Amino acid sequence: MSADADLAAAPDPLDPLDAAIVRELALDARATYAEIGKVVALSAPAVKRRVDRLLDRGVIRGFTVRLDPAALGWQTEAFVELFCHGSTSPATMRAAIARYPEVVTASTVTGDVDLVVQVRTSDMRHLERVVERLAAEPFVARTRSTVVLSALVRRPDVPPAPASSPG
């Protein structure tokens, strides 16, 4: 693929108003267009038009809630690194990992590990069973787990606020 093709495929950056609208929705998906309009200095209909455009462009894929995993019984969190045999395709990994309801995220990565899986379980015994099941997948050579003690920062998909200019 040429450099020109890479540039052509790059998404259009958000203008400052769209970025502010997206930021407000990411912080509170229940905010009304009028409430967002007050923050970004636009009318409710203008905010709606921009949100509709952002939906059409695929910038906004939906509206959701953020849940407290512990309140739902998911008390234990860990990152499980999977070291795979040979050259296992991401599609093979995805198909297997998608079957685990405990998996929060799964990403192929660089380095000596092939796949990092974030899991949430009810307790350590549940985590042990999940790790054993992951280790038994035919493409997995070995695993390494790291249990989360404290989640220090968790951010929803919120674009950063624009940096203020030095004054």
Relative to beta strand 115-121, strand 103-108 is: antiparallel
Dihedral sign, Cα of residue 32, residue 35, residue 41, residue 43: positive
Q: What's the pLDDT band for 166 if we cut at 50, 70, 90?
A: very low
Model pLDDT, residue 11: 61
User: What is 14-65's CATH number, 3.20.20.70, 3.40.50.720, 1.10.10.10, 1.20.1540.10?
Assistant: 1.10.10.10
Intrachain domains 14-65 and 69-147 with the same fold? no
How far is residue 55's CA from residue 146's CA, in Å, rounded to a whole number? 37
CB 76 within 8 A of CB 122: yes
Rounded CA Rg of the chain: 21
Structural domain boundaries in the chain? 14-65, 69-147
pLDDT tens by residue, 134-158 = 999 999 999 999 999 998 988 777 7
Stretch 111-122: mean pLDDT: 97
Tokens representing residue 23 in the block: 């930021």
CB 148 within 8 A of CB 80: no
Which region holds residue 8: left if phi is over 0, alpha if psi is between -120 and 50, else beta?
Answer: alpha
Closest CA to 158 of 17, 48, 26, 11: 26
> What topology does CATH give the domain 69-147?
Alpha-Beta Plaits (3.30.70)
pLDDT tens by residue, 13-38 = 889 999 999 999 988 999 999 999 99
pLDDT tens by residue, 42-91 = 999 999 999 999 999 999 999 888 888 889 999 999 999 999 998 899 99
CB 120 within 8 A of CB 76: yes
How far is residue 79's CA from residue 118's CA, in Å, rounded to a whole number? 4
One-letter identity of residue 37: G
Model pLDDT, residue 31: 96
